[in-house]
Structure 1
Amino acid sequence: MVEKSTGDLQQGLMEEPDLNTYLKKNRPFFFDGQLPQLLAEIYRRRHISKAALARQAGMSEVYLHQVFSGRRVPSRDRLLCLCIAMGTTLEETQQLLLRTAYAQLYPRLRRDAVISHGLVHGKTLAEINEALTAAGEKTLF
């Protein structure tokens, strides 16, 4: 099956008079329930225990396991905490945000710029939160 671009999907949505037909025709192209798989794929490439990951992300192990199993969907900030704790690249982080229908990090927003800078430069969650505070922005947790 050939992948459809976002533009192709948008055009099809505007042209198709029947929503159900559109949804049926394009079912394979929707992002559904992929967060646990994407997180697991990134986690496998890291050398960190889930207990350490939970600690570094500032969340409980129970919550972390619920996210990895798909029983809980983290907020955008909690997902960013996970990304930072796993040491994801900016590109991996943007992909995870996109796949969960959250706004990607946007460099015109000061808070997002601070977070992006921290990701690119391998800062810890504590360091990013300190930079957010120094910039007068809300911390991630």
Structure 2
Amino acid sequence: MKKRTTDHLQQELMDSPDLARFLTKNENLFVNKSIAELLNQLFERKNISKAALAKQSGMSEIYLHQIFAGRRNPSRNRLLCLCYGLGASIEEAQELLKLCGMAQLYPKLKRDAIIYYGLQHGLGLFEINDKLFDENEETLF
């Protein structure tokens, strides 16, 4: 079976007169992973310990372990902190936000543009928080 793009799936959804049939037909295409599963996938691709990740993400190890165990769901800000801690690329961060059902970074918003810039240029979380603060924008933590 040929792989179907998101655009194709969206068009099929718009054209479908029967939602139940569309859902049944495309069941295997829906993302069914928890935030913890998605984060664990990204974490496994990075060369970092959870202790270092907690420190670089500005959160306690206990809270971090709760997130990775699926007992806590992080806010968008905390998810972005984890992206900084993991050294995630823009593409990885955007995909993670999207799959977690959160708004992707939108460069037309000043705050998001600053966060985007930091990820793109490999800046640290604390440096980005300082830039957000300097621009009178809400910090990530």
The aligned counterpart of 1:26 is: 26
Question: What's the CA shift string for 1:80-133, capped at 9, x where partnerless?
Answer: 000001111111111111111211111111101100111111111110000001
TM-score, structure 2 normalization: 0.89
CA RMSD of the aligned region, Å?
Answer: 1.7
- Cross-structure match for 1:61: 61
For residues 58 and 103 of structure 1, what CA distance do their matches in structure 2 show?
A: 21
Give 1:133's aligned residue.
Answer: 133
Shift of 1:6: 1.7
- In structure 2, stretches of 5+ residues that fail to align are none
Question: Which residue of the partner structure matches residue 76 of structure 1?
Answer: 76
- Give the TM-score of the pair, scaled to structure 1: 0.89
- The count of aligned residue pairs is 141
Distance between the aligned counterparts of 2:101 and 2:138, measured in 1?
Answer: 21
Q: AA paired with 2:7?
A: G
Kept after mapping to 2: 8 A contact 1:3/1:29: no
Gaps of 5+ in 1: none
Change (3 A) 1:24 1:90: same
Report the counterpart of residue 8 of structure 1 in structure 2: 8
